[in-house]
Structure 1
Amino acid sequence: MNTVRLSERDNVVTAIRPLQIGEEGATQLIPRGHKIATQDVAKGEAVHKYAQIIGYAAEDIAKGAHVHTHNLEFRNVDQEHAFGSNLLPATAPAKPDTFMGYKRPTGRVGTRNFIAVLTSVNCSATAAKLIAAHFTEEKLAAYPNVDGVAAFCHGTGCAMGGDGTGFELLQRTLWGYAKNPNVGGVLMAGLGCETMQIDWLIQAYGLEPGPRFQSMNIQDVGGIRKTVELGIKKIEAMLPIVNEDTRVETPASELMVGLQCGGSDAWSGITANPAVGHAVDLLVAQGGTGVLAETPEIYGAEHLLTARATDETVGQKLIDLIDWWQEYTTINKGSMDNNPSPGNKKGGLTTILEKSLGAAAKGGTTPLNGVYKYGETITERGFVFMDSPGYDPASVTGQIASGCNLIVFTTGRGSAFGSKPAPTLKVSSNTDMYTRMSEDMDINAGRVLTESASVEEVGREIYDAWLRMASGGQSKSEAQGLGDYEFVPWQVGAVM
């Protein structure tokens, strides 16, 4: 088998390996992961993959021709949405699964136990980094139940509209990190005169100062040096308290996994993403939660998700997000097809429609129970959606702010990504890349093609890895120390 056909309705197949002229009917050289026309397609006619439209022929395409950016064009889609027409409940599990987690007073459960140094503004970023850097592995050795002291710094917090979308996004993000179940203690550091006032944040979200939540401003303390010294003292006092937290056996229903893909290729939607989708179905069956995001990267596939919406209200929320993004890209003189990236296209993806259909597979098959704003606290269990850009660091930041205690990240090109305080499991879509980047990839979903493994088999492997990680097992990105520079709150609105 040298090609993959995903549906009888498709008029293209995907090459498993590079094809020479004459192989599999190819009339041109076909790179691995790229598409071949299986019939003549006239200019203007639709090209189908996944039994869905991925674009339109920009010129006459002959049977056997290479189908890619040179002859396939994007058009805005206008789908019909039948809300709740495809509701498939999760299959009841044979037994309840558990993991060893940190149970918080809120009732939520963490998979890690971090002390977070949060910044209200870019001006306090250096102080936060210096405070966190003080707490080396040697200094933390006496506190085995503390996973680390991490600084979460960003490039905004001031010169922004005080009542606009951007301000609200940053507020939700900072509050969400402070309340994330993987955080056992918080030190919030500000400058003092910024738009994002710490006192306002505390008041707006009901944060309670105490031994586990401390705050300070550089201007009040008397400068950077004094702020760093005071911050170190505050965390030194916090460490023994946070170290008292211990892991207890917890139902798998307390897992909330953020679903991401980045550096995708043609195989992402065939191997890795469907395997993650099966893992999500297993988690939902246990009462857990899978959180899909990256709104621009479900564009063209949203009708598949609204068909799974539990009611019209949930489905309409998703459509409203798509409409907002279309307006947002138009205002900024962009296009919903500015994605895929050059790397995605080199890997065989041609249009955002093709990428979206593969990306949506990460959400599995169970009903869509809720649609949330960026960084909004997720309350429904099961499969849900959170609004975010397709830029992975910004999207994952929102998912963690919404309450995710684990992240799974599929990749076909080899994204170097990790996150704190919720660790990331990396899933490779193809065996070649997994072999080349074995120090970075946790799971090889490419086995679906190279070893005839089933999507369900790899999905079970991913789900089992989540349980191990949730109990303290390190992912490869976590072991390499990634996550200190991946805190990227989504910035929207004018900088003034």
Structure 2
Amino acid sequence: MSHDLLVLREGDDVAVATRDLSPGDQVVVPGGGPVDVGQLDVGQPVPRGHKVALRAVPVGAPVRKYGQVIGVATAPVAPGDHVHSHNLGFEDGSREAPLGGAHHELPVPDGVRPTFRGFRRADGRVGTRNFVAILTSVNCSASTAKMIADQFRGNVLDEFENVDGVIALTHTSGCGLVPDSEGGQILLRTLRGYAAHPNVAGLLVLGLGCEMVPGAALSARSGQVADLGMPGIGAPDDTRSGLLAAIADDTVVRSLTIQETGGVRASVRAGVAAVREILPLVNQRERVECDVSELVLALNCGGSDGYSGITANPALGWASDRLVAYGATSVLAETPEVYGAEHLLTARATEPTVAKKLLDRIDWWRSYVKAGGGTLDNNPSPGNKAGGLTTILEKSLGAVAKGGQADLAAVYEYAEPITERGFAFMDTPGYDPVSVTGLVAGGANVVVFTTGRGSVFGCRPTPSIKVATNTPMYSVMSEDMDLNAGVIVDGTATVADVGRQIFDRILAVASGQQTVSEELEIGAEEFIPWHMGAVT
């Protein structure tokens, strides 16, 4: 049954409007199950997705949504008022962050165990795509990499039916960084993660030749890749050292430096020749039946709105829990966007050390944004606020719903290899391309991305499934969305119904079904490693 208001938890001070409300409207306040608990006279215009007060709240008193405090009243609030930035403010307050103990037993799925058709790699991992990647060591080689990749657009790859494409993974860094600094190590971890990714079967590493990170590193004459700035790892004559130490033995690797090859034009010719040599070898790989537990799911959201924590995010949480119950891996991220809800995650930690690692990253972020002249409540964005979200506390409470109810088994630093099965968290910024780049570098082979305002995000080499939180946005941007979770608010489906749709779509996409962003070849420009630290 559909209502004009959604009350998310008993005792909440606000409800969420499911349509635009006008002064004088009389709306039913829904209770639990089929019971309605009263009628509310709307006193102010309330856009859909925004909050309307259920009761009076005095100045300075906390306001609750999801059964949690989302801020304090900065002006008197009367029943029927629109509750937003004009009368609701951020106050950090105190939240007890338990160090585990809130174990939730996931239901054991019955029936036939799901499988998908993936690319089994020599190291045992499974890819959901079969790409040839041109990975740049430094921004100076970015344009050349794109020129090489552009030679393989259109129908050039038609004869290689098992190859998903040739992509140029370019970035804006690689020089001017201190190699053993935090920023230098993050870049190196990210490059190593993409080089070793199970969705990359062929790799052309392209450098300029004089860059600081990853060092002196590339030799076009020998075709061998040296240490790439990782001290103590490998040797200059070892193609599997440094950057490539973790790649599977069946990854086809070539390398070039522009300076040694003879400049841009010569490097484009040589790069095209190298890719043509790689393609037939990569095309020999074929999809095979793989167990669902081989999936590594990245959970992300962007352009969130007031419906995100009600529809798409909890539905994705349902799918995440089901994957974890089958022994797969699911990873939440965006540390600034779990701030205010971190206690809900630490309570689910399997060990106190796991919970403490997440809290340590929250503390790091407090210092990081303070040093930059900001606060963690600089988030939400203007688009988030237009969609009904007021404070970071409110946004985070909706964002963590993507992680379902599973125990928190691990916390990773940015781009760190994902090694533990189960539900985990990776420390990343909230900026979508940077966040997903870290997750993919960690090994995620499928992304599900929820959006309320209408993000056009895509990701390569890992497919990204976009889920709309509301039907009006889906109707306008249906060509950019894979699924519509707005049917939950419409009253035509449940969270579990949409969760099942997401789960089934994950398996289909992992088996090769294209996402809408893949159809548009969106995703290479969204390769954005987290850039931090001094640039000299």
Which band: TM-score by shorter chain?
over 0.9
Gaps of 5+ in 1: none
Percent identical residues: 53
The structural deviation recorded for 1:139 is 1.8
Q: How does 1:66-465 map to 2 (within 5 A)?
A: 66-94=82-110, 95-197=112-214, 198=217, 199-201=226-228, 203-205=241-243, 206=245, 212-465=252-505
Count of paired positions? 496
| Secondary structure, aligned partner of 1:458 | helix
Q: In structure 2, how many angstroms separate the alpha carbons of the residues matched to 1:419 and 1:54?
A: 32
The structural deviation recorded for 1:64 is 1.6
The structural deviation recorded for 1:211 is 7.2
Q: In structure 1, how many angstroms separate the alpha carbons of the residues matched to 2:432 and 2:519?
A: 20
| Secondary structure, aligned partner of 1:184 | strand
| Secondary structure, aligned partner of 1:107 | coil
The structural deviation recorded for 1:452 is 3.1
Deviations 1:108-129 (A, max 9, x none): 0000000010001100001100
What amino acid is aligned across from residue 437 of structure 2 in structure 1?
T
* Alignment counterpart, residue 473 of structure 1, candidates 503, 510, 513: 513
Q: In structure 2, how many angstroms separate the alpha carbons of the residues matched to 1:144 and 1:433?
A: 35
What amino acid is aligned across from residue 212 of structure 2 in structure 1?
T
What amino acid is aligned across from residue 420 of structure 1 in structure 2?
R
The 8 Å contact of residues 211 and 238 in structure 1, kept in 2 or not, is answered as no
Q: In structure 1, how many angstroms separate the alpha carbons of the residues matched to 2:62 and 2:498?
A: 33
Q: In structure 1, how many angstroms separate the alpha carbons of the residues matched to 2:176 and 2:137?
A: 13
TM-score normalised per structure 1: 0.98
| Secondary structure, aligned partner of 2:64 | strand
| Secondary structure, aligned partner of 1:101 | strand
Q: Once structures 1 and 2 are overlaid, which stretch shifts more, 85-94 or 304-313? A: 85-94
Q: Once structures 1 and 2 are overlaid, which stretch shifts more, 9-18 or 56-65? A: 56-65
The structural deviation recorded for 1:81 is 1.5
* Alignment counterpart, residue 57 of structure 1, candidates 73, 77, 81: 73
TM-score normalised per structure 2: 0.91
Deviations 1:275-318 (A, max 9, x none): 00000011111111111000000000000000110010101010
Gaps of 5+ in 2: 28-40, 218-225, 229-239
Partner in structure 1 of residue 8 of structure 2: 6
Deviations 1:457-495 (A, max 9, x none): 100000000000000001111112111211011101111
2:84 paired with 1:46: no
Q: In structure 2, how many angstroms separate the alpha carbons of the residues matched to 1:210 and 1:285?
A: 31
| Secondary structure, aligned partner of 2:117 | strand
What amino acid is aligned across from residue 125 of structure 1 in structure 2?
A
What is the CA RMSD across the aligned residues, in angstroms?
1.3
The 8 Å contact of residues 77 and 300 in structure 1, kept in 2 or not, is answered as no
| Secondary structure, aligned partner of 2:355 | helix
The structural deviation recorded for 1:22 is 2.2
What amino acid is aligned across from residue 186 of structure 2 in structure 1?
L
| Secondary structure, aligned partner of 2:513 | coil
Partner in structure 1 of residue 32 of structure 2: none
Q: Once structures 1 and 2 are overlaid, which stretch shifts more, 220-229 or 393-402? A: 220-229
Q: In structure 2, how many angstroms separate the alpha carbons of the residues matched to 1:273 and 1:408?
A: 10
The structural deviation recorded for 1:392 is 0.1
| Secondary structure, aligned partner of 2:146 | helix
Q: In structure 2, how many angstroms separate the alpha carbons of the residues matched to 1:309 and 1:6?
A: 25
Q: Once structures 1 and 2 are overlaid, which stretch shifts more, 462-471 or 38-47? A: 38-47
Deviations 1:375-427 (A, max 9, x none): 00000011100010000000010010000001000001100111100011010
What amino acid is aligned across from residue 145 of structure 1 in structure 2?
N
Q: Once structures 1 and 2 are overlaid, which stretch shifts more, 223-232 or 390-399? A: 223-232
Q: In structure 2, how many angstroms separate the alpha carbons of the residues matched to 1:230 and 1:45?
A: 67
Q: In structure 1, how many angstroms separate the alpha carbons of the residues matched to 2:288 and 2:78?
A: 62
Q: Once structures 1 and 2 are overlaid, which stretch shifts more, 247-256 or 35-44? A: 35-44
What amino acid is aligned across from residue 479 of structure 2 in structure 1?
E
